[in-house]
Amino acid sequence: MEHHVENTGRVGAGVFNPRQLLTSLPDALRKLNPRHQLGNPVMFVVWVGSVLVTVFAVVDPSVFTVLIAVWLWFTVLFANLAEAVAEGRGKAQAETLRRTKKETMARRLTPDGSEERVPGAELRIGDLVVVEAGGVIPGDGDVVEGIATVDESAITGESAPVIRESGGDRCAVTGGTTVLSDRIVVKITTKPGESFVDRMIALVEGASRQKTPNEIALTILLSTLTIIFLLAVVALQPMVGYSGSTQSVIVLVALLVCLIPTTIGALLSAIGIAGMDRLVQRNVLATSGRAVEAAGDVSTLLLDKTGTITFGNRKATELIPVAGSTVDQLARAARLSSLADGTPEGRSIVELIEREHGLPAEATEDERLAEFVPFTAQTRMSGMDIGERLIRKGATSALRTWVRERGGDVPDEVERIVDEVSEQGGTPLVVAEYTGGKAVLRGVIRLSDVVKPGMRERFEELRSMGIRTVMITGDNPLTARAIAADAGVDDYLAEAKPEDKMALIQKEQEGGRLVAMTGDGTNDAPALAASDVGVAMNTGTSAAKEAGNMVDLDSNPTKLIEIVEIGKQLLITRGALTTFSVANDLAKYFAILPAMFVAIYPQLGGLNVMGLATPQSAILSAVIFNALVIVALIPLALRGVRYRPSSASALLRRNLLIYGLGGIVTPFAGIWLIDLLVRLIPGIG
């Protein structure tokens, strides 16, 4: 893994700061424009009501009318403020991202092989540009020639340089990053203004954010409720007139505003923007809000084994001597055979022997004079020659031949141990030694593709959420089964080819399930495009990044699990605040309805359970509370409701208990406290 440390604070937007309310106030005032309000039907009704009451306050002013008008405008303003704060956080991130963009002169290759210097903004798809050490890559593209170390800290926040090379799955480079060494030729794959940084800026600023299907459905529901309550309030006036009385337009507007779901209507946009914001904090670029929402509904997770479930680099975990040799003899021979092996597996053997057998990890003076034998694909072994003493370590078949050529025997138990290690998901390496007489096979080193710590617990959490996990690997079925059992995944796909991945995705989707997967290679592109949530690694090919609907700038495959959690947190937050808003309206009925009709029906005085001073103070207190609760819930909408893995029924019970019951109790306490202050105003109490 190139990036093992997640940079969640790259833009410092994770924590809500009350100062953001003040800095976002000018934007909130600009959003009072009626054209903007039309986009939110619930708040547009409140805006129209505010205008109507303001007209009455000017024509026939009174303390009650003026205060109602003021607090209705505050209700609209606070709703705008929630959206402005969310967008403000995005703009802060966008400004940070803009600073990473550097306008550079590019060295473009011409058809005859010469170079010409052109501004980076003039590059087009397919252009070839040369970038050498110290140069800035002028645009997104793929390395088609050479290899270099690249500093991507401006984009990812990770200070460690990464390797980018032509061919393979680590050829993609991002515009604005710096080449630290060597020379590469980059083929431009995006138009000016459409790079990943440009798209990320547009995304976090909200310019390209579209409402998701669930958000649209909820908006339709809220609009329908608003129309129903509007008709109900309009019908009240004839009913009151039939009773020989009248109600002022001011009171009817106040009732309507308190009845319609203004709380969730005001916060809905902020919740969606904040969901995207949480992804950006984790260096994930989503091409649409639909992908984030789909992540919350995912029911099948496809995960690559290497680098996601396991560390990828196999590690030595056990030395198994065979008959005639001791563990100490095997350890000494294995150490000597690995001193020349610069692979991660070779280093892990030396580390294991140093840790468990006390032998030094560095070669001694005499050992440095010995002849090192490096590993090659032809010999499939490595080792050391010290005079007539030859030590080798490698594949079973290669060592079997090497021992027999030098007059040695291969004990039967070696085959048994090798088969056992393979069946348990490990890789066996055989160690042998020749001392001048004949070769002796010392034993077997077990290499294990180590499962990352905590993965079994993560998969248990996903299982409790109703998500099925499938490990995808190119290993043989025996090895795949052993690692799958060790990691705790629900299923596995061994010896997987691109068409196998596609078939698995289609099979899962036929059952109505949403599928998420990660990938970085061109061969992953079809599966990424077919999956509902396809997370491409930034280090991967352009084909993979174009096929997916998310790009992880840190190239950390395990982040897919966090993306699912962010999607679920978005849905849970929206559901929780909707529950609170609807329950909140119920409690406000007990403040306003008795106050409206107590003069006509004195019996309704018994419903004044809060003991509110006068009808006017009750109505004003409810309107004030209705406005203030929006501001109080802005931090929760931006931060999100804390997510705990659990079943849908458990989440529903939690929502009803905390946000349903809380939505009923909070207004009673809040309106009662506000009434204690409002009754002190002359002309109200």
Give me the active site residues, please.
304
Q: Determine if residue 378 is labeled as part of a ligand binding site.
A: yes
Token digits for 540?
Answer: 């991967």
Q: Determine if residue 78 is labeled as part of a ligand binding site.
A: no
CA distance 196 to 193: 9
Q: Determine if residue 621 is labeled as part of a ligand binding site.
A: no
Contact call for residues 502 and 510 (beta carbons, < 8 A): no
DSSP element (H, E) containing 471: strand 468-472
- Amino acid at position 250, single letter: I
Q: Determine if residue 381 is labeled as part of a ligand binding site.
A: yes
Q: Determine if residue 568 is labeled as part of a ligand binding site.
A: no
Q: Determine if residue 379 is labeled as part of a ligand binding site.
A: yes
CA distance 625 to 623: 5
Q: Determine if residue 380 is labeled as part of a ligand binding site.
A: yes
- CA 377 centroid distance within chain: 40
Question: Residues 662, 668, 669, 675: is their CA dihedral positive or negative?
Answer: positive
Q: Determine if residue 345 is labeled as part of a ligand binding site.
A: yes
SS (H, E, C) 419-462: HHHHHCCEEEEEEEEECCCCEEEEEEEEEECCECCCHHHHHHHH
Q: Determine if residue 524 is labeled as part of a ligand binding site.
A: yes
Q: Determine if residue 377 is labeled as part of a ligand binding site.
A: yes
Nearest CA among 79, 82, 94 for reference residue 206: 94
| Burial 5-37, CB ≥16 within 10 A → b, else e | ebbeebbebeebeeebbeebbebbeebeeeeeb
Token digits for 289?
Answer: 């809000």
Question: Residues 163, 168, 174, 175: is their CA dihedral positive or negative?
Answer: positive
Question: Residues 604, 606, 608, 609: is their CA dihedral positive or negative?
Answer: negative
Question: Considering just the CA atoms, what is the radius of gyration of the chain in Å?
Answer: 34
CA distance 185 to 112: 15
Determine phi and psi for 119, rounding to 5 degrees: -60, 145
Binding residue numbers: 341, 345, 375-382, 393, 520, 524
Binding residue numbers for ATP: 341, 345, 375-382, 393
Binding residue numbers for Mg(2+): 520, 524
